[in-house]
Amino acid sequence: MKLVRPSLAVCLAVLFMAPPASAQTNVIGKAALERAVQNRVDAEQADREAIKTLLQRPDVRDIAGKAGMSVDKALTAVSTLQGDDLRELADQARQVDDQLAGGASTIVISTTTVIIILLLVILIVLIAD
């Protein structure tokens, strides 16, 4: 009996120490974490720039003016966007900007609609905050 208690104590101690020791192998380094954070910040900044680039186009300003929307308010609201909203709007902004920069001399109704939707979403986000 005197031998069983110490043996059991040693076995339990080893079992309780094993999971924390194995968990340490999944920890990432500080440099990798900093790179991941910097990549995320860079991606969000690029997304914001894509939206701002589209909103600053003269033809987009004309469409917004005809629809009675303020591009300046939308530009201000871009800095408040984040996450999925930011990525989705940036993707749409890039598509519209590519269409307009690709030699499209006229803005088709689908492009106009996308621009108006972008402006509305940005303004809604601004109002919600």
User: DSSP H helical segments within 24-108, as ranges?
Assistant: 30-55, 58-66, 71-78, 83-101
CA angle, 84 as apex, 61 and 93 as ends, to 5°?
25
pTM of model > 0.85 = no
The per-residue pLDDT for 42 is 94
Query: Splitting the chain (129 residues) into consecutive groups of 10 residues, what average pLDDT does each group show?
Result: 68 63 63 91 93 88 84 87 88 84 60 75 73
Indicate whether 8 belongs to any domain: no
| Structural domain count, the chain | 1
Indicate whether 1 belongs to any domain: no
CA distance 26 to 93: 38
Indicate whether 18 belongs to any domain: no
Q: Residue 27 in 3-state DSSP? A: coil
Indicate whether 23 belongs to any domain: no
Structural domain range at position 37? 30-128
Indicate whether 12 belongs to any domain: no
Indicate whether 72 belongs to any domain: yes
